[in-house]
Amino acid sequence: MEPINHKDPSNILLINPPVGSLTFPPWAHAWAAGLLTGLGLSLEQYDANLDFFLNYLLKTKRLNALVSLIKKREKAGVFEKSAPHIATLLADLSTNHKSWTQKITKVDQNLELLRTEGFYRPESCLAAIKNINDLLDLVSLAFYPSHIQMGRFSNPCVMDSDFGGFVEDQNINPFLPFCQDRLAPRLTNPQLDLMILSVSDLNQVFAALTMARFAKKERIDLHVALLGYSVLSKDDIDYVDTLLPEAESRTLLDLIHRLRGAITPVDAVEPDFSGLPLKDYLAPAVILPFRAPVGSKTDLIPPSSLCAVLMEQKQRYAAAGFFSIDDRLTPSYMAELVNEISGGQQPFYLGLTCSLDESTSREQMEADYKAGVRFIQWRDPAGQLESLIKALWDVAESGVWNHLEVPSEAESSMAQGLIRFMEANPNIVHSSTRHQLPNSPLKSPDEQTEEASGAYSQVAKLPGQPFWQKVNDPIYLLLYLIRYGIKKVMRWRVRNDGCSIYSMGQDIEFHFVKPSELPAGYMDEICRMVEAGGSVETRWVRYNLERAFLIGYVLEQGVIIGNSSLKQPRPEYVETVKRQSGLDLGHYLERGYTSVRPEYRGLGIGTKLLEGLTSRAGHRKIFSIISEDNLATKKIAIRNRTRKVASYYSERMGKQIGIWMPEWMIED
């Protein structure tokens, strides 16, 4: 156990309670520290969240003790009516005890890897994260039904304001014994008269209330304040003396005035991270959070002023980059900020949080990328769907990662359209979070990070999960984007073992066969792929494919990821075209039914399929059809050296259709 070291005795204890991020320091905590030190007050900063995980819970001796406690609880029948996954975990503990012992023995090694260059080895990083999460899942059983994760805490039995029993119950509250071991020594300081618990997230509420209750029992004279995110009313908490809004200097200054007497107000508050152990966070580089302070009135300070703050913090704390936690920032504000940063002598990397609107442009995003922007987390979309989609395209084309947050039950047509676009274009919207609002103010919003189903939900699933989903931390993702770039990271998938990865497109196999030569089940899957593409009438898909001249399909990891075909045009279709255009397609082959899974778009798979089919057509000429209003596909066709040779009106589609052929097949 790490010893508790005190600096000079302080009057104020400022605490960041569990459970929060382990990858970067808390902004609200640093903001409060900046205000208090600016007043000349004696202050001790304590990141209890970091201490809880690194020096208390994830230590070999304690982990072994908790495993023994779990076995006792199992014998006592505590888990008899638990969920199936808990029974599976207990069975694995019993049958694979040696494996769990090894995980416990190597916990310090896994934690240290996340702070070193080894973090950038994706499989080593994933293995370390998996082992840590496995241990947290296991030791959570010592406090069942509470569940502890990196950055998250839950207890399904605590609803609304029914937390009184939780804070006093050592059987389900992991923070109570932590207070006895790690908080109690800090409360012995006789000069301490104010304890401030900085709560930025609902996941911290349980520990914050536990620490508040524990402190008041130990020191009834101690003034306890809860700063920040709180859904609780003062009437519900008799052991919290003051509730303070986050980042509102007036109320905190009023509290200090009541406790200390007259004070000199500060003009501006800059976050002070100096009292936090920046090198102990589980990341190989220092990434600092930032928000734009409010100016003299209620407006945000000018971007030039915020840029100056960030530049100073970069130098003072040796920060490699910054991550915005401020959802008030608009793309236009961020554009001005980035323009200021690009003119500085010390560039740094940025992850941003912005509301999605129509103001983003390709030119600005390219400038943002050059200035260090690598990741944008979009929230609260507003505007015309077409303009928002164009903005997302511009961001992706500039090399910046798009992460889109949307509610799980989107009601507006714009939001529903964004979700459909997101599902169909993972090469543009690279990651997403679907929020399910909680049914209790003490429960955090559920984040649905499964891959969106969309049109391709009926085809075979790709093995494993996207890399970003397994890493599941914006700071880690930002660091990987800085190191490897968007094109590489977006292609990584993690196999079902949770550790090994493969890069989509590196082991693809092209096959060109007659319909009768397809392996069993492949025709069904190719039909589903074509139907998922959504651009053809499904009634004739199987009929045409079974009679096709040739079918091309692409495999990776045993899954069909793309397909196309050379079809024999039906006689009635040949007659319609001949009657309207004079072109006889009787001996031609139609190139069509091309479908590539969204995850694999941008790799040239469709082009290679068509090239392979064309080279195998023999003496037969080939055509394809493109509706006259499909300008994007027509541009691609011209780029691929095909040309329109005729057109006809399709009564079924209600539009004019063009017939296109490879230029080298056209006879002048």
Residue 490 near residue 427 (C-beta atoms within 8 A): yes
Q: How confident is the model at residue 612 (pLDDT cuts 50, 70, 90)?
A: very high
Q: Are residues 307 and 225 in the same domain?
A: no
Within a domain: 280: no
pLDDT, one tens digit per residue, over 60-87 is 999 999 999 999 999 999 998 888 999 9
Q: Are residues 430 and 533 in the same domain?
A: no
Helices then strands (H, E): number in the chain? 24, 24
pLDDT at 385 > cutoff 80: yes
pLDDT, one tens digit per residue, over 532-546 is 877 677 788 999 999
Residue 486 near residue 401 (C-beta atoms within 8 A): yes
The Cα 297–Cα 294 span in angstroms is: 7
pLDDT, one tens digit per residue, over 162-176 is 677 888 899 999 999
Q: Are residues 234 and 346 in the same domain?
A: no
Q: How confident is the model at residue 503 (pLDDT cuts 50, 70, 90)?
A: very high
Span 217-225, average pLDDT: 94
Span 487-498, average pLDDT: 94
In this prediction, residue 296 carries a pLDDT of 46
Q: How confident is the model at residue 453 (pLDDT cuts 50, 70, 90)?
A: low
Q: Is 492 left (phi over 0), alpha (psi -120 to 50) or beta?
A: beta
Q: Are residues 165 and 27 in the same domain?
A: yes
Q: How many CA atoms lie within 13 A of 531 on its CB side?
A: 16
Direct distance between the N- and C-terminal alpha carbons of the chain, in angstroms, rounded to an integer: 84
Burial (Cβ within 10 Å: 0-12, 13-18, ≥19) of residue 444: middle
Span 593-604, average pLDDT: 89
Which domain covers residue 375, as residue numbers? 285-503
In this prediction, residue 297 carries a pLDDT of 45
Residue 158 near residue 207 (C-beta atoms within 8 A): no
Burial (Cβ within 10 Å: 0-12, 13-18, ≥19) of residue 7: exposed
The C-alpha angle with vertex 172 and arms to 166 and 177, in degrees rounded to 5, equals: 90
Query: What are the tokens at 577?
Result: 């075209």
Residue 396 near residue 428 (C-beta atoms within 8 A): yes
Buried b (16+ CB within 10 A) or exposed e, 238-269: eebbbbbebbebeebbebbeebeeeeeebeeb
Residue 560 near residue 529 (C-beta atoms within 8 A): yes
DSSP string, 417-474: HHHHHHHH-TTTS-EEEEEEPPSSTTSPPEEE-SPP-GGGGGSPPPSSEEHHHHH--H
Within a domain: 289: yes
In this prediction, residue 359 carries a pLDDT of 82
Q: What interhelical angle do 122-140 and 60-75 show, nearest 10?
A: 40
The Cα 307–Cα 309 span in angstroms is: 5
Q: How confident is the model at residue 129 (pLDDT cuts 50, 70, 90)?
A: very high
Within a domain: 274: no
In this prediction, residue 159 carries a pLDDT of 62
pLDDT at 113 > cutoff 80: yes
pLDDT, one tens digit per residue, over 6-55 is 444 679 999 999 999 999 999 999 999 999 998 889 899 999 999 999 99
pLDDT at 303 > cutoff 80: yes
Span 364-385, average pLDDT: 89
Q: Are residues 290 and 207 in the same domain?
A: no
End of a domain among 202, 226, 260?
260
The Cα 637–Cα 633 span in angstroms is: 6
Q: Is 593 left (phi over 0), alpha (psi -120 to 50) or beta?
A: left
The Cα 456–Cα 600 span in angstroms is: 13
pLDDT, one tens digit per residue, over 403-443 is 998 876 667 888 888 888 888 889 999 998 876 544 444 44
Q: Are residues 248 and 340 in the same domain?
A: no
Within a domain: 279: no
In a 3-state reduction of DSSP, which class is residue 404? strand
Residue 228 near residue 200 (C-beta atoms within 8 A): yes
The Cα 580–Cα 593 span in angstroms is: 24
425 beta partners: none
Which residue from 319, 354, 292 is spatially nearest to 475, judged by alpha carbons?
A: 319
In this prediction, residue 430 carries a pLDDT of 94
Q: Are residues 25 and 120 in the same domain?
A: yes
Window from 182-196, 373-387, 619-633 with minimum mean pLDDT:
619-633
Give the number of other CB atoms < 10 A from CB of residue 547. 11
Q: What is the domain count for the chain?
A: 3
Q: Are residues 292 and 224 in the same domain?
A: no
Give the number of other CB atoms < 10 A from CB of residue 86. 18
In this prediction, residue 362 carries a pLDDT of 86
Q: How many CA atoms lie within 13 A of 349 on its CB side?
A: 22
On average, the pLDDT of the chain sits at 88
The Cα 490–Cα 495 span in angstroms is: 15
Q: Are residues 16 and 32 in the same domain?
A: yes
Cα dist from 56 to 99, 175, 518, whole Å: 22, 10, 58
494 beta partners: 465, 501
In this prediction, residue 44 carries a pLDDT of 94
In this prediction, residue 452 carries a pLDDT of 44
Within a domain: 4: no
Of 294 and 503, which is predicted with more confidence?
Answer: 503
Which residue from 595, 619, 610 is spatially nearest to 660, judged by alpha carbons?
A: 610
Phi/psi at 532 (5° precision)? -65, -30
Percent with pLDDT over 90 in the chain: 58
Within a domain: 420: yes
Q: How confident is the model at residue 666 (pLDDT cuts 50, 70, 90)?
A: confident
Give CA torsion, residues 474, 477, 478, 482, to 10 deg.
180
Burial (Cβ within 10 Å: 0-12, 13-18, ≥19) of residue 496: exposed
- Amino acid occupying residue 509: E
Q: Are residues 403 and 455 in the same domain?
A: yes
Burial (Cβ within 10 Å: 0-12, 13-18, ≥19) of residue 133: middle
288 beta partners: 322
Cα dist from 231 to 36, 153, 199, 203, 227, whole Å: 25, 16, 11, 12, 12
pLDDT at 2 > cutoff 80: no
Span 273-286, average pLDDT: 96
Cα dist from 230 to 195, 204, 205, 235, 240, whole Å: 16, 10, 7, 13, 12
pLDDT at 609 > cutoff 80: yes
pLDDT at 249 > cutoff 90: no
Predicted TM-score of the model (pTM): 0.90
pLDDT at 138 > cutoff 60: yes
The Cα 418–Cα 381 span in angstroms is: 9
pLDDT at 590 > cutoff 50: yes
Q: What is the CATH number of the domain that holds 579?
A: 3.40.630.30
Of 281 and 634, which is predicted with more confidence?
Answer: 281
End of a domain among 503, 538, 553?
503
Pairing of the two strands 446-448 and 431-436: antiparallel
In this prediction, residue 305 carries a pLDDT of 85
In this prediction, residue 231 carries a pLDDT of 58
Q: How confident is the model at residue 627 (pLDDT cuts 50, 70, 90)?
A: confident
Within a domain: 52: yes
pLDDT at 219 > cutoff 90: yes
The Cα 163–Cα 85 span in angstroms is: 26
Which residue from 235, 333, 332, 231 is spatially nearest to 290, judged by alpha carbons?
A: 333
Q: Are residues 430 and 472 in the same domain?
A: yes
Within a domain: 320: yes
Span 551-567, average pLDDT: 95
Span 129-154, average pLDDT: 95
Q: Are residues 251 and 390 in the same domain?
A: no
Q: How confident is the model at residue 395 (pLDDT cuts 50, 70, 90)?
A: very high
